[in-house]
């Protein structure tokens, strides 16, 4: 399936003391790079975060949501706006803090239907930032907000969409929100970050 990808990498990381999740190192690569590897077959990749914060390939577009730290829906809007030209029907939407997400992406793409495929983890929780959405459906949902997206949740944004719930491989949605989460994967504040 032909798809574009939008990766959200611009949060405050407040539970990590402000240390950017995207720069944490796991198995020799940043979390952002693990995420980019998972969507390497995308036609276009847009990272929504701080330009220059972590290295990406020249083909990857990096933009910032407006206002900065405006939340995930503001970031999605910025990412979609930056994916221009020959855009794809489908958009894989990922947070940058899931080191095993490459296991989930093919499952989502294979099950994309209606307005999108939304990951469900082993505990039955829906993962709104691990999904494959029909771009037109996301655009329509954003247009309904008339620009009032700051602080909005993705759950609110997609409430009117018809999504297929897809159980993804166990562990593929594991994310890193705290230093305890990082420690479980062997990442420490001293060794787990690459500073630019």
What is the model's pLDDT at position 53?
Answer: 66
Do the domain assignments include residue 156?
yes
d(CA 103, CA 107): 8
- Written as one string, the DSSP assignment of 146-172 is TT--TT--HHHHTTTS-EEEEEPPTTT
Count up the domains in the chain and report the number: 1
Q: Which domain holds residue 80?
A: 3-184
Do the domain assignments include residue 194?
no
192 pLDDT band (50/70/90 cuts)? Answer: low
Do the domain assignments include residue 193?
no
Do the domain assignments include residue 84?
yes
Do the domain assignments include residue 115?
yes
Do the domain assignments include residue 192?
no
Do the domain assignments include residue 196?
no
Do the domain assignments include residue 189?
no
- pTM higher than 0.75: yes
What is the model's pLDDT at position 196?
Answer: 40
CATH of the domain at 38: 3.90.550.10
What is the model's pLDDT at position 195?
Answer: 41
């Amino acid at each position: 399936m032909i798809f574009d990808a939008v990766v959200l990498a611009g949060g405050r990381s407040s539970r990590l003391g402000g240390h950017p999740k995207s720069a944490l190192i796991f198995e020799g690569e940043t979390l952002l790079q693990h995420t980019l590897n998972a969507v390497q077959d995308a036609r276009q990749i847009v990272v929504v975060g701080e330009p220059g914060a972590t290295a990406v390939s020249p083909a990857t577009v990096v933009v910032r949501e407006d206002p900065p730290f405006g939340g995930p829906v503001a970031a999605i809007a910025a990412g979609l706006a930056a994916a221009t030209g020959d855009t794809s029907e489908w958009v894989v939407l990922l947070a940058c803090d899931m080191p095993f997400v490459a296991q989930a992406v093919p499952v989502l793409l294979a099950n994309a239907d209606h307005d999108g495929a939304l990951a469900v983890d082993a505990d039955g929780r829906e993962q709104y930032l691990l999904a494959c959405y029909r771009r037109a459906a996301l655009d329509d949902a954003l247009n309904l907000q008339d620009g009032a997206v700051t602080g909005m949740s993705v759950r609110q944004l997609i409430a009117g969409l018809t999504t297929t719930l897809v159980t993804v491989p166990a562990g593929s949605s594991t994310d890193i929100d705290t230093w305890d989460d990082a420690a479980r994967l062997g990442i420490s504040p001293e060794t787990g970050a690459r500073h630019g």
